[in-house]
A = this chain, B = another copy of it.
Amino acid sequence: MAAARTLRIGLIPGDGIGREVIPAGRRILESLPSSLNLKFSFVDLDAGYETFQKTGTALPDKTVDTLKKECDGALFGAVSSPSTKVAGYSSPIVALRKKLDLYANVRPVKTTAGNSNGKPIDLVIVRENTEDLYVKEERTIEGPNGKVAEAIKRISEKASFRISNIAGEIALRRQNIRAASPTSTRDQPMVTITHKSNVLSQTDGLFRETARRALAAEKFSSVFVEEQIVDSMVYKLFRQPEFYDVIVAPNLYGDILSDGAAALVGSLGLVPSANVGDGFAIGEPCHGSAPDIEGQGISNPIATIRSVALMLEFLGEEKAAAQIYAAVDGNLDAAQFLTPDMGGKATTQQVLDDVLKRL
Residues of A within 8 A of B (CB): 81, 85, 90-91, 94, 133-134, 136, 138-140, 143, 145-158, 161, 196-203, 205-206, 209, 229-232, 234-235, 237-239, 252, 255-256, 258-260, 262-264, 268, 288
Contacts and interface: CB of A to CB of B under 8 A. Distances in A.
B91 A199 contact: yes
Contacts of A139: 202
Oligomer: number of copies: 2
11 contacts: A81-B229, A90-B201, A138-B202, A139-B202, A146-B156, A147-B157, A148-B155, A150-B153, A231-B259, A232-B288, A238-B260
A133 B133 CA distance: 10
B151 A202 contact: yes
A234 B234 contact: yes
Contacts of A262: 235
Contact of A145 (B134, B158, B205, B235): B158
Given A81-B229, A133-B153, A134-B199, 15 more contacts: A91-B199, A136-B200, A145-B156, A146-B157, A146-B161, A147-B156, A149-B154, A149-B206, A150-B155, A150-B203, A151-B202, A152-B152, A152-B153, A231-B259, A238-B260
A271 to B, nearest CB: 10
Contact of A206 (B81, B133, B140, B209): B140
A148 B133 CA distance: 13
Interface hub of A153, A161, A256, A288 (most chain B Cβ within 10 A): A256
A148 B232 CA distance: 26
A53 B297 CA distance: 63
A156 B151 contact: no
A140 B152 CA distance: 13
A138 B200 contact: yes
Contact of A150 (B147, B152, B199, B263): B152
Contacts of A156: 143, 145-149
B150 A200 contact: no
B264 A238 contact: yes
A277 to B, nearest CB: 17
A157 B145 contact: yes
A263 B260 CA distance: 12
B151 A153 contact: yes
Nearest to A135: B150
B153 A153 contact: yes
A252 B252 CA distance: 11
A199 B230 contact: no
A99 to B, nearest CB: 16
B203 A151 contact: yes
Nearest to A152: B150
A85 B234 contact: no
A258 to B, nearest CB: 7
A152 B199 CA distance: 12
Contact of A200 (B81, B151, B209): B151
